[in-house]
Amino acid sequence: MASPAQHSRPIILIVCHALSGHLGPLIRIADGLHARRWQLAFLGPTAHRARIESTGAEFFPLTGDADLNDRLYYEQHALPGYDSLHWVERGKIDLKLQCLDPLVTQWENFKSALASIQHRDPGRQVIVVAEAFFLGIMPLKYGAPLPSGIAAPKTLCISVTVPAIRSIDLPPFVHPLRFDQTPVGRERNRQMWERREKSSKPLTELLDQKLIDAGATKTVGEPFLAGANYKCHAKIIQLGVPGFEYPRSDWPSGFKFAGLVQGAHQGPLAQDPPFPWWNELKTNSALQPADKARKKVILVAQGTVETNPEDLIIPTILALAGRDDALVIAVLGWKDARLSDFIKVPDNARVADYLSYDAALGHADVWVHNAGFGAVNHGIAHGVPMVVAGEGMDKTENARRVAWSKIGIDLETAKPSVEQVKSGIERVLCESIFREQIRELQEQAEQIDCIGVIHQEISGMVF
């Protein structure tokens, strides 16, 4: 039963893009806010209803084309030949199908959820916590009307990827150029943004049309992926640590780093994972680093989107096969997945169909993954240097920052050879700079209370 004090506080309505990599951090945030006694509602995909409701939030379903099941999206893509396209072309298709096409439906779902909350509890403030790529909130900021009698809420943006916000210090998002803040670099960036404005015109026009279709009275006035979906909010809360992000000179007003929602600082796991080899891993970790019997533990995973183990997991296993001084832990990403369908598993490899990264990283010396933003932050939270091999969406940007910040090696491909993986792992194990740099970022993370920052920002928006 909610206390009277709780009823005097606003209701927090969380809205989030339906992809798992976006939902995961918002679900953790919901759990943390619930622990601080905020009353929550969450507009999300039906495939993740149980996870959302486990946070204590009231669930409101996305519908129609907004109710994306990302596992089915990638395993049974509606576009023939999708998997054979270059990652840039796949990314354009994903942005259209996942973000732009569902915008009007997301807006209708948002209005319905907001109206339901306000009709049930009239006069009580609602504050919206909006993940940056839930574009269905944008009509509210561009003149679209709410239903009669429904008050416009204050909104707070949560960024769960590296920020896709235009800067004089950076080339356009996912453009293959190095960070350069010099006058020459800034002029290069300006020219690249001029080109991006032309190349992104179809997506920009589609966003504008979707906003008009949703009832907006104005359009964004800038290229798609220049940051309008962030800057339309008064506050932008960026997950991650400053040391992983390029030091821009022109952050938008209201921008703040909030640290990590990943990691052991959230508390120990209730119990050990149910794998017969888990005690072997714990026993190895209990040995002193200088003990010759202690094996180097290499954790490898590909997340929940690129699930073909031949891309990264199998090359990693083969790179270390036969080494008595190494133990490979491979995480496949989906319940009941089996690696034995692909290869004979070497004696020094252990396989998990599904396993918490936080549980495994507590025992790892190297973290091999495909450069998802969440995976990078798991590594930072545990101070484990990494080898990354990814492309598409924000993965290319993340991989470049891994190399720039010297917390790991970027293999610069999503499908590395066995030799590339082997070389990357050996460098991370042998060169102390990677361990030193990631410990520095880990210390940054430990100094920021992520849920506390978000709680404070929401509290500052209360009437």
Q: Give tens-digit pLDDT for 199-233.
A: 999 999 999 999 999 999 999 999 999 999 999 99
Tell me which residue has tokens 């270059």. Answer: 86
Closest CA to 172 of 254, 84, 88: 88
Asked if residue 2 has pLDDT above 60, the reply is no
What predicted TM-score, i.e. pTM, was given to this entire model? 0.91
Contact 218, 148 (CB under 8 A): no
- 266-446 matches 4-259+448-459 in CATH topology: yes
Residue whose tokens read 């409701």:
53
- Dihedral class, residue 351 (left if φ above 0, else alpha if ψ from -120 to 50, else beta): beta
Token digits for 253? 């007003």
Q: Residues with Cβ < 8 Å from 69, sequence gap 6 or more?
A: 18, 45, 47
CB atoms within 10 A of CB 184: 9
Mean pLDDT of 321-348: 85
Per the CB < 8 A criterion, the answer to whether 409 and 387 are in contact is yes
Architecture field, domain 266-446: 3-Layer(aba) Sandwich (3.40)
Q: Among 237, 228, 240, 205, which residue's Cα sits nearest to residue 407?
A: 240
Does the pLDDT of residue 272 top 70, yes or no? yes
CB of 334 within 8 A of CB of 353?
yes
In 3D, which of 322, 370, 366, 365 has the Cα closest to residue 344?
322
Q: Are 96 and 203 in contact (CB under 8 A)?
A: yes
Widest distance between CA atoms in the chain: 72
Say yes or no to pLDDT of 267 above 70: no
Determine the 3-state secondary structure of 383 from DSSP: coil
Q: Provide the pLDDT for residue 327.
A: 97
CA distance linking residue 461 with residue 75, whole number of Å: 41
C-alpha atoms less than 13 angstroms from C-alpha of 124 in its C-beta half-sphere: 20
Which residues 6+ apart lie within 8 Å of 3 measured at CB? Answer: 37
**Per-residue model confidence as pLDDT tens digits over 398-442:** 999 999 999 999 999 999 999 999 999 999 999 999 999 999 999
Of all helices (H) and strands (E), which one includes residue 349?
A: strand 349-352
Q: Kindly tell me if the per-residue pLDDT of 264 is higher than 60.
A: no
Tokens of 64: 């129609």
Q: Which helix (H) or strand (E) holds 387?
A: strand 386-388
Q: Which CATH number is associated with domain 4-259+448-459?
A: 3.40.50.2000
Give me the residue spans of the domains in the chain.
Answer: 4-259+448-459, 266-446
Q: Which of 162, 138, 319, 164 is nearest to 232 (CA)?
A: 138
